[in-house]
Amino acid sequence: MNQTLKQDIETLVRLQEIESEILRLQSVIQKVEKEKIALASRLNAFKTDLDTRRQELEEIQQKCTDAEQEIKTVDDRIIKSNETLRMVKTNKEYQVLLREVDDNKRRKDALESQLLDFYDQREAIETGVKESEQQFLQLEQHIRAEQAEIDKKTVDDRELLAQSLEQQKKIGQDLDPSLMTRFRKVSRMNQGQAVAQVRNESCMGCFMNVPPQLCIEVQRGNQLISCPQCSRILYHVNDDPMSGE
């Protein structure tokens, strides 16, 4: 077996291991980042809902204040009319004022009954807001904890990724540039997998049969053989347990 080629193949296999690890880590990191975003948007949606409820509470509170204010104004008018009543001279004036007092009393009754409705509404909304605030706090706590957990996981993975990228660079330097180009090209064609083992006369990359003559060539290791189906660079692992498989 050609020793330089044997070394090249070993380097390619090692490079492939690192590349696969890099792809795996990148995909894991991407996935957890997506989880983090999903958690944040869940909390956001809840916050939006809570803000709407708070807005509703403010509105009903304003309605209560307005009604209370108006009742006071009408009440003042009734008191004033009653005072004037005692001083009127003519029956006509008296009748007009009396009608005014009656109108205002009816207005006051209507306003008071409306105000009671507003109070009921306010109580219901207030209860909803309080419950919602409680739930929000719990959810926030839960989501912050989950995000922290995700961050922790990502920190380890990011460190591993940095190490793998460093190893990839080092290994790449040992390889002949033309071999590296070939590796990159085949890798792009096969979702990041450029090297595949031959086992039982099959390519472990695409699982297609490799012609027997080609298998022998791969075992001999005198030249780099590509899988006729997927173009992955093929290598053979000796079944001898000492060979490292």
What residues make contact with Zn ion under the rule CB under 5 A?
203, 205-206, 227, 229-230, 232
Nearer to Zn ion, 125 or 234 (CB): 234
Whole-angstrom distance between the N-terminal and C-terminal Cα of the chain?
19
- Minimum Å gap between C-beta 220 and Zn ion is 19
Comparison of 12 and 227: residue with beta carbon closer to Zn ion: 227
* Cβ-based nearer residue to Zn ion, 155 or 208: 208
Q: Is 5 exposed, middle or buried (0-12, 13-18, 19+ CB in 10 A)?
A: middle
Q: How far is the CB of 29 from Zn ion (least distance, A)?
A: 29
Long-range contacts of the stretch 55-61 (C-beta < 8 A, 24+):
56/125, 57/122, 57/125, 57/126, 57/129, 60/118, 60/121, 60/122, 60/125, 61/122
How far apart CA 120 and CA 211 sit, in angstroms, is 84
Comparing CB distances to Zn ion, the nearer of 139 and 206 is: 206
Give least dist CB 237 to Zn ion, A.
16
Please provide the DSSP assignment of 62-109 as one string: HHHHHHHHHHHHHHHHHHHHHHHHTT--SHHHHHHHHHHHHHHHHHHH
Cα–Cα distance for residue pair 161/237, rounded to 1 Å: 27
In sequence order, the β-bridge partners of residue 202 are 199, 209
Toward Zn ion, which CB reaches closer, 82 or 229?
229
Report the alpha-carbon distance of residue 215 to residue 237 in Å, rounded. 12
| Contacts for 114 with CB less than 8 Å, ≥ 6 apart | 67
Q: Closest CB to Zn ion among 79 and 208?
A: 208
Query: Min. distance of Cβ 24 from Zn ion in angstroms?
Result: 21
Q: How far is the CB of 211 from Zn ion (least distance, A)?
A: 12
CB of 154 to Zn ion, least distance (A): 34
